[in-house]
């Protein structure tokens, strides 16, 4: 308990109890025994004090000009001490779950990121497109208020089947039930209401509980892949010889699963991309969900990255360049204010380089020279402003690709781990076959070649040398 109190971020907003985090952090030694007794009593009685469950809902706009209630995200401000309690419970829950549970859920897991999720969606698609008479349908699914529709009793049944103790399941049921909350907009506060559905966005446990609710949402047919990042779900259907039977059946099963689990599919915001490189084959029957046609688009944004139907990265790199160019203005302002180079470099890395290198392992090997040079010109402009050398995008790409590849090799539970197989000699990884440049330049193929190019005798010694372990 003391360790949890010490790690409180004192800058976070206080909850409805108005107890600032700095007080809890500074008095950790004096409060540790008191809260240890309270937490243990709560767990033993499977009851969460009502004052711990109280929340203040702050509507946060999802877009610059919200037009309706659905354009706001309801973020819950809860007591900071309850967040500490939730972290302890979350740590215990994770320790009881098998590491192989729901491997294609990439959110809220150590050493997993949006890059892993995007690559896991693109690799089977690119591999399949290397074959004749093939194309891919990618369905980007949108849920309406996913966290707010959780039915606690249904979730608890799944947690019980996962092996969580009855007392802990009862505690979680009480945690999600009878939650008092008010809505605050500016200085105006609504009347209090009590809810017994949903998992409040802003609670520490909510993301984990949502992923446990959806852990059994998995594809039925081997020709389909389901990739999840929290509530962002993507279905990748690998179609051969125009036979879409399994893909369409998978969509029906997914729709049924959502209905059974009280998740609302937002068909109007769900998009589909068809990736097809066959000549003279452009007529594809539309996909319908609950009688409504899913919109087919040529490009969509998936976890911050623009995915196009031709799998090129022109739209994505243009978007990154535009954002980075806008932020160069502030770098120039700092330079005119006589900020020293270390400050300028820190600002550049935090606000410009972070944009230019966003998910770079996904697109860094496949983007065109023209797009790569356009991004590198921004780096050179920043160098002239800062007056000091900056890392090139190619160096950043190589470093991050190496780090990501080594992480996957060392993680047997990662979905891509099986793609890195050693040759009988134990000195090199097996090269992956490819017919097209698209697949050759993709993440996994580039990563295998990079690991084989590292100077050393064995893969293990290469990894040790790079990571410094």
Together in a domain, 258 and 191: no
Angle between helices 80-96 and 166-176 (to 10 degrees): 140
Domain membership flag for residue 109: no
Where b means 16+ CB within 10 Å and e means fewer, 208-239 reads bbbbbbbbebbbeeebbbbbbbbbbbbbbbbb
Could you tell me if 185 and 62 lie in one domain? yes
Q: Is residue 276 assigned to a domain?
A: yes
Domain that holds residue 407: 399-465
Query: What total number of domains does the chain contain?
Result: 4
271-316: pLDDT as tens digits? 999 999 988 777 899 999 988 999 999 999 999 999 999 999 999 9
The DSSP bridge partners found for residue 272 are: 139, 296
Q: Is the pTM here over 0.85, yes or no?
A: yes
pLDDT at residue 456, rounded to an integer: 63
Predicted local confidence at residue 427, as pLDDT = 85
Instruction: Establish if 186 belongs to a structural domain.
Output: yes
106 assigned to some structural domain: no
172 lies in the same domain as 234: no
- For residues 199 and 87, state if they share a domain: yes
For residue 125, what is the domain's CATH number? 3.30.70
**Is 395 exposed, middle or buried (CB count within 10 Å of its CB: 0-12, 13-18, 19+)?**
exposed
Nearest 5°: CA angle at 334, between 333 and 336?
65
Task: Taking each helix axis as running N to C, give the angle between helix 28-45 and helix 80-96, from 0 to 180 degrees, rounded to the nearest 10.
Answer: 60
pLDDT digits (tens, 9 = 90+) for 176-232: 999 999 999 888 989 999 988 888 877 899 989 999 999 999 999 999 999 999 889
Burial class (CB in 10 A: 0-12, 13-18, 19+), 195: middle
Percentages helix, strand, coil for the chain, rounded to the nearest 5? 45, 15, 35
Burial 369-391 (b: 16+ CB within 10 A, else e): eebbebbeebbebbeebbeeebe
> Phi/psi at 120 (nearest 5 deg)?
-70, -25
Same domain as 166, residue 70: yes
Domain edge (last residue) among 255, 280, 308 = 308
**The dihedral sign for the CA sequence 450, 452, 453, 455:** positive
Tokens at residue 366, please?
A: 């496949």
| Residue 108 is assigned to a structural domain of this protein | no
Residue 460 to residue 140: CA distance in whole angstroms: 38
Residue 263's nearest CA partner among 298, 303, 232, 229 is 232
The reply to whether 9 falls in a domain is yes
Same domain, 169 and 244: no
Question: Is 107 within a domain?
Answer: no
Q: Are residues 253 and 369 in the same domain?
A: no
> Residue 459: what pLDDT?
56
- pLDDT for position 235: 97
Chunked mean pLDDT (size 10), the chain, 469 residues:
91 88 92 94 94 90 82 86 94 91 92 94 95 94 87 94 94 93 89 87 88 94 95 94 94 95 92 91 88 94 95 95 95 95 95 96 94 95 95 95 95 94 90 92 95 71 47
Boundary of a domain, candidates 252, 285, 308: 308
Q: What is the 3-state secondary structure (H, E, C) of 113-162?
A: CHHHHHHHHHHHHHHHHCCCCEEEEEEEECEECCHHHCCHHHHHHHHHHC
Give the separation between CA 249 and CA 184, rounded to whole angstroms. Answer: 44
Residue that is last in its domain, among 289, 308, 327 = 308
| 182 token code pair | 């008010």
Q: Are residues 61 and 151 in the same domain?
A: yes
Residue 26 shares a structural domain with residue 43: yes
Question: Taking the C-alpha atoms of 377, 380, 384 and 385 in order, what is their torsion angle to the nearest 10 degrees?
Answer: 70
- Tell me if 346 is assigned to some domain: yes
């Amino acid at each position: 308990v003391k360790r949890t109190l010490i790690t409180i971020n004192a800058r976070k907003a206080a909850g409805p109890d108005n107890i600032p985090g700095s007080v809890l952090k500074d008095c950790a030694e004096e409060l540790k025994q008191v809260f240890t007794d309270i937490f243990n009593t709560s767990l033993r009685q499977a009851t969460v004090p009502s004052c711990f469950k109280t929340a203040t809902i702050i509507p946060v706009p999802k877009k610059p000009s919200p037009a309706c209630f659905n354009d706001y995200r309801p973020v819950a401000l809860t007591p900071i001490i309850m967040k500490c309690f939730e972290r302890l419970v979350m740590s215990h829950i994770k320790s009881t779950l098998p590491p192989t549970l729901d491997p294609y859920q990439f959110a809220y897991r150590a050493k997993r990121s949006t890059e892993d999720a995007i690559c896991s969606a693109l690799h089977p698609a690119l591999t399949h497109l290397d074959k004749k008479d093939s194309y891919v349908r990618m369905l980007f699914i949108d849920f309406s208020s996913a966290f707010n529709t959780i039915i606690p009793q249904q979730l608890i049944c799944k947690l019980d089947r996962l092996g969580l103790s009855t007392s802990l399941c009862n505690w979680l049921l009480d945690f999600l039930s009878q939650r008092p909350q008010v809505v605050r907009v500016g200085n105006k506060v609504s009347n209090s209401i009590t809810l017994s559905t949903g998992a409040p966005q802003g609670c520490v446990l909510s993301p984990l509980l949502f992923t446990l609710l959806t852990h059994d949402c998995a594809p039925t047919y081997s020709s389909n892949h389901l990739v999840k990042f929290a509530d962002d779900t993507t279905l990748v259907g690998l179609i051969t010889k125009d036979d879409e039977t399994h893909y369409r059946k998978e969509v029906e099963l997914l729709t049924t699963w959502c209905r059974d689990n009280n998740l609302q599919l937002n068909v109007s915001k769900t998009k589909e991309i068809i990736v097809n490189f066959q000549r003279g084959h452009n007529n594809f029957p539309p996909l319908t969900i609950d009688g409504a046609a899913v919109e087919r688009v040529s490009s969509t944004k998936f976890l911050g990255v623009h995915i196009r139907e031709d799998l090129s990265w022109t739209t994505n790199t243009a978007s990154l360049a535009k954002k980075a160019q806008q932020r160069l203005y502030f770098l120039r302002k700092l330079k005119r204010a006589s900020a020293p180079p270390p400050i300028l470099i820190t600002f550049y890395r935090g606000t410009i380089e972070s944009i230019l290198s966003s998910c770079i392992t996904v697109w860094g090997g496949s983007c065109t020279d023209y797009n790569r040079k356009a991004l590198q010109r921004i780096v050179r402009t920043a160098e002239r402003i800062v007056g000091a050398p900056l890392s090139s995008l190619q160096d950043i790409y190589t470093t991050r690709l190496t780090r990501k590849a080594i992480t996957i090799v060392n993680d047997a539970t990662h979905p891509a781990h099986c793609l890195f197989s050693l040759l009988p000699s134990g000195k090199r990884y097996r090269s992956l076959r490819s017919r097209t440049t698209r697949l050759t330049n993709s993440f996994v193929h580039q990563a295998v070649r990079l690991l084989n190019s590292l100077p050393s005798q064995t893969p293990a010694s290469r990894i040790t040398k790079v990571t410094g372990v």
